């Protein structure tokens, strides 16, 4: 079940909200747990046992660490081995065997393994919980049901953001739900849904059209790279908006996961703004434990390479993701040790060059074969191809408005304009009436697109 589906929007979610607010507050965690497990079961019935096992494993691991402090290191290592062992089996086992076969010319059979949806996300959440207990930074959940509610919360279960227990620990036991908070959450949800359905999905259709051109052009390859960059941004940031909005409806305050990353002034700045929950997870649980930047330049370079190769692999069991991670590692090292001062002095160049480098990164991200990546970059500068033609111009004219909207929406300009209007007396009065109407019209349009459109996947589900 995806958020941008009729079954979720008009059946699952209203029923969940109704049940949640009709019952006494002390039972609300259990209501969320039941609905979250059903949500996961609906989309991944075969492997719901993996999710339930993770709930019990990590809850009791945290309790045992508190109960047996002298053995806490052994308990932590055992927990990490089991957590990441499951992740390795489901996500990387066949990739590992394939590469062993290629390297040693063996013929080990591949297993028929289907990766459970969201396993990367709930594994990282669970391990952060146990590690934080080990470090003494949080107390264990009150009971296994509260922990299971935290780990399985359907707003962020299958595509993030990665919510640490410390963020919601107090709210798991004591949270307030008010009409303004619910209204704010629903507003955030509808905006995220609009980003997903009205921008990301249409850009996905645009890239599909460019793939089927009878005569590709240089412009078509540049447009495809640009459109895919916008598509994955609006797809994933839209999902994060929906998750954060639904969290507010139920009284949870999840941290922001995106902060206009496509307006970044450097790759370092980009990763402070893009998928913030993931980048901070790797910083706190891998980069800093490895020594961070405290052990000299050589080890800092080593640590950056390890973190970004791991980040690449986290996204998928394929060499293009390894290359993608290495690409960012090299850029970050170059910024840190070579050209950061130059970027600080030339801000316009910094923004433009960063945006182009981000576009290049998503060419690597979206192209599975190394050969395909090379061909794509070659075609961006293949002057034996025509720059454009009638076919390319036709599709560009059809999707130009969406590209313009995507460009405008990638920065804080609309938000700044809204805040300016909301902070004026007249604007505040107008918004009280106009905003609910606009959101209802937007939801109506979105619903029409969902009913009519067959292209409606979330890209990050497969990561």
Report residue 309 as tokens: 């190769």
Say how many C-beta atoms besides its own lie within 10 A of residue 332's C-beta: 20
pLDDT band, residue 452 (cuts 50/70/90): confident
Q: Average pLDDT for residues 248-255, to the nearest whole number?
A: 95
User: Considering only 17-31, 53-67, 356-370, 446-460, which range has the smallest mean pLDDT?
Assistant: 446-460
Axis-axis angle for helices 119-134, 72-87 (nearest 10): 170
Tokens encoding 27: 């039972």
Give me the mean pLDDT over the 279-301 stretch: 93
Sign of CA dihedral 319, 322, 327, 330: negative
Residues 267-296: b if buried by 16+ CB within 10 A, e if exposed: bbbbbebbbbbbbbbbeeeebeebeeeeee
Model pLDDT, residue 194: 96
pLDDT at 456: 55
Residue 461 has pLDDT above 70, yes or no: no
C-alpha closest to that of 265 among 411, 107, 50, 390:
411
For 379-389, the pLDDT digits (tens) are 999 999 999 99
Model confidence over 65-87: pLDDT tens digits?
999 999 999 999 999 999 999 99
Q: Would you give the DSSP letter of residue 462?
A: G
**pLDDT reported for residue 340:** 85
**Which positions are catalytic?**
315
Asked whether the whole model's pTM tops 0.85, one would answer: yes
Domain edges within the chain = 6-175, 181-462
Q: What is the pLDDT of residue 377?
A: 96
Quick one: which of 41, 9, 193, 8 has its CA closest to 117?
A: 41
Tell me the pLDDT band of 46, cut-offs 50, 70 and 90. Answer: confident
Question: What is the pLDDT, as a whole number, of residue 458?
Answer: 55
Q: Which pLDDT does position 173 carry in this prediction?
A: 87
pLDDT value of residue 344: 87
Residue 296 has pLDDT above 60, yes or no: yes
How many whole angstroms separate alpha carbon 42 and alpha carbon 16?
A: 14
Confidence of residue 14 (pLDDT cuts 50, 70, 90): very high
pLDDT above 60 (res 454):
no
pLDDT-derived band at 425 (thresholds 50, 70, 90) equals confident
> For residue 43, what pLDDT band results from cuts at 50, 70 and 90?
confident
**Residue 159 pLDDT grade (very low, low, confident, very high; cuts 50, 70, 90):** confident
Give 462's pLDDT tier (boundaries 50, 70, 90): low
- Sign of the alpha-carbon dihedral angle for 112, 118, 121, 126: negative
Nearest to residue 167, comparing CAs of 125, 127, 131? 125
Question: What value does the mean pLDDT take over residues 388-412?
Answer: 95
Is the preceding peptide bond at 161 cis, omega within 30 degrees of 0? yes
Q: How far apart (Å, rounded) are the C-alpha atoms in residues 125 and 281?
A: 9
Cα distance from N-terminal residue to C-terminal residue, the chain: 16
Q: What is the pLDDT of residue 455?
A: 55
How high is the mean pLDDT of the chain? 93
- Residue 432 has which token pair? 């009280």
Specify the pLDDT at position 386.
Answer: 95
């Amino acid at each position: 079940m995806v958020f941008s589906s009729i079954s979720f929007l008009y059946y699952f979610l209203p029923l969940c909200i109704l049940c949640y607010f009709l019952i006494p507050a002390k039972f609300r965690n259990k209501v969320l747990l039941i609905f979250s497990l059903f949500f996961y079961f609906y989309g991944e019935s075969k492997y719901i046992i993996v999710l339930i096992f993770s709930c019990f494993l990590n809850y009791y691991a945290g309790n045992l660490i508190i109960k047996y402090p002298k053995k806490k290191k052994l308990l932590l290592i055992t927990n990490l081995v089991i957590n990441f062992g499951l992740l390795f089996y489901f996500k990387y086992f066949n990739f590992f065997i394939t590469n062993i076969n290629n390297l040693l010319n063996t013929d080990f059979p591949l297993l028929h393994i289907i990766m459970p949806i969201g396993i990367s996300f709930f594994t990282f959440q669970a391990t952060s919980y146990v590690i934080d207990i080990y470090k003494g930074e949080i107390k264990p959940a009150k009971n296994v049901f509260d922990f299971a509610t935290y780990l399985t919360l359907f707003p962020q279960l299958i595509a993030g953001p990665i919510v640490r227990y410390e963020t919601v620990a107090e709210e798991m036991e004591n949270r307030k739900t008010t009409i303004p908070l619910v209204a704010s959450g629903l507003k955030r949800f509808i905006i995220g849904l609009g980003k997903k359905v009205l921008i990301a999905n249409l850009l996905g259709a645009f890239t599909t059209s460019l793939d089927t051109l009878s005569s590709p052009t240089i412009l078509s390859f540049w447009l495809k790279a640009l459109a895919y960059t916008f598509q994955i941004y609006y797809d994933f940031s839209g999902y994060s908006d929906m998750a954060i909005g639904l969290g507010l409806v139920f009284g949870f305050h999840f941290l922001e996961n995106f902060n206009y990353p496509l307006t970044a002034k450097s790759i370092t700045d980009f990763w402070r703004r893009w998928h913030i929950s993931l980048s901070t997870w790797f910083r706190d649980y891998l980069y800093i434990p490895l020594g961070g930047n405290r052990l000299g330049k050589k080890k800092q370079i080593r640590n950056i390479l390890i973190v970004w190769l791991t980040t690449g692999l986290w996204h998928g069991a394929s060499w293009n993701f390894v290359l993608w991670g290495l690409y960012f590692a090299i850029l970050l090292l170059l910024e840190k040790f070579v050209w950061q001062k130059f970027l600080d002095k030339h801000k316009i160049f910094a923004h433009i060059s960063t945006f182009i480098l981000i576009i290049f990164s998503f060419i690597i991200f979206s192209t599975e074969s190394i050969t395909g990546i090379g061909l794509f970059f070659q075609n961006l500068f293949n002057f034996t191809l025509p720059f454009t033609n009638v076919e390319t111009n036709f599709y560009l004219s059809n999707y130009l408005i969406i590209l313009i909207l995507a460009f405008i929406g990638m920065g804080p300009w609309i938000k700044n304009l809204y805040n300016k209007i909301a902070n004026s007396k007249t604007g505040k009065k107008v918004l009280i009436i106009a905003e609910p109407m606009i959101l209802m019209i937007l939801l109506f349009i979105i619903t029409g697109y969902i009913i009519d459109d067959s292209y409606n996947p979330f890209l990050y589900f497969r990561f």
